[in-house]
């Protein structure tokens, strides 16, 4: 979705939280209510205390309850312009990428390179494209996110009740996420778990990164070796027990074996070498999801690596046997 014409809202607004919106974080509530407002602006007015819930200042992760009254200050919003149309190729790809669908949930195998939502120079993300491809769905919202260059399983709720249920499941660590990552060098078999607190920060250049920092949030990832490619690289399974930004990417770097193709956390000399071997993307893939649905049924979904990446790994195994 693109936004082209801006206007100034001249008055304070008050929104009442409806029953089916209860349980949402206030930042997610605002991102839905303030379509066209940059995410950075939403967090800025939250930090400044301009957003009030029942006349009180709140933090971004404050949970809303039915009947809460949310004060929204005068804010620059965007008039909705003409949506960027989804090309036939992307529409076809998204339909074929669906690995599970029910009345309340979609799970897709997101390709690497596709952002999950528009913004920050991205005019069309997965969720905007999906809303065009599925106009009959009155409600489509991302349950969680994947980095733009990470591929694999991502959940999209088709009902608000499902969104609330899955957000609670994620908070309570009841969703099992299993990733595959190709890391530089020989991952030690004894390294089964990385416990390292993570802190988001901004460099002088303006780039936002995540680093291991004692002042950061507790973060844990469990690892298992899947396949070795001599001493050149190792394919590992990674299961994050917490859900921090860039968690697997930073924990592998911290362990001394960053992910192949990671332009932010892996040295250029490593990436250049693997690029010459045909591995030209961030080698991180959300391979499996396991969770219990509201009805009590256990859902297990899997997404294979794309054909080009799988072929490159097979060739790597021939050239660098373990």
Residues annotated as part of the active site: 147
- Which residues 6+ apart lie within 8 Å of 56 measured at CB? none
d(CA 239, CA 218): 15
CA 284 remoteness from chain centre: 12
d(CA 240, CA 106): 22
Please give the C-alpha separations between residue 19 and each of 15, 24, 67, 160, 161, in angstroms, as whole numbers.
13, 11, 7, 10, 10
């Amino acid at each position: 979705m693109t936004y082209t014409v801006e206007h100034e809202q001249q008055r304070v607004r008050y929104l009442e939280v409806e029953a089916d919106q209860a349980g949402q974080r206030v930042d997610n509530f605002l991102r839905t209510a303030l379509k066209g407002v940059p995410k950075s602006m939403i967090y800025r007015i939250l930090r400044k205390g301009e957003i009030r819930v029942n006349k009180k200042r709140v933090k971004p992760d404050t949970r809303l309850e039915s009947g809460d009254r949310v004060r929204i200050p005068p804010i620059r919003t965007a008039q909705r312009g003409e949506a960027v149309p989804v090309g036939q190729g992307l529409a076809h790809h998204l339909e074929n990428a669906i690995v599970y669908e029910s009345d309340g949930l979609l799970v897709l195998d997101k390709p690497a390179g596709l952002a999950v939502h528009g913004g920050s120079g991205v005019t069309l993300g997965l969720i905007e494209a999906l809303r065009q491809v599925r106009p009959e769905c009155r409600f489509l919202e991302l349950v969680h996110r994947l980095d733009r260059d990470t591929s694999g399983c991502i959940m999209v709720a088709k009902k608000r009740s499902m969104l609330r249920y899955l957000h609670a499941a994620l908070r309570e660590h009841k969703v099992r996420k299993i990733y595959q990552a190709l890391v530089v060098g020989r991952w030690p078999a004894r390294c089964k778990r990385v416990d390292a607190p993570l802190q988001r920060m901004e460099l002088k250049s303006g780039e936002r990164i995540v680093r291991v920092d004692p002042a950061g949030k507790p973060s844990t990832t469990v690892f298992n070796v899947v396949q070795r490619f001599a001493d050149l690289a190792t394919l590992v399974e990674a299961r994050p027990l917490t859900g921090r930004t860039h968690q697997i990417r930073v924990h592998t770097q911290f362990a001394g074996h960053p992910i192949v193709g990671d332009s932010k956390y892996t040295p250029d000399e490593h990436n250049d070498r693997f690029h010459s071997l045909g591995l030209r993307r961030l080698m991180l893939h959300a391979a499996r999801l396991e969770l219990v649905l509201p009805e009590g049924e256990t859902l297990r979904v899997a997404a294979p690596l794309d054909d080009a990446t799988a072929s490159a790994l097979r060739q790597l195994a021939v050239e660098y046997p373990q």
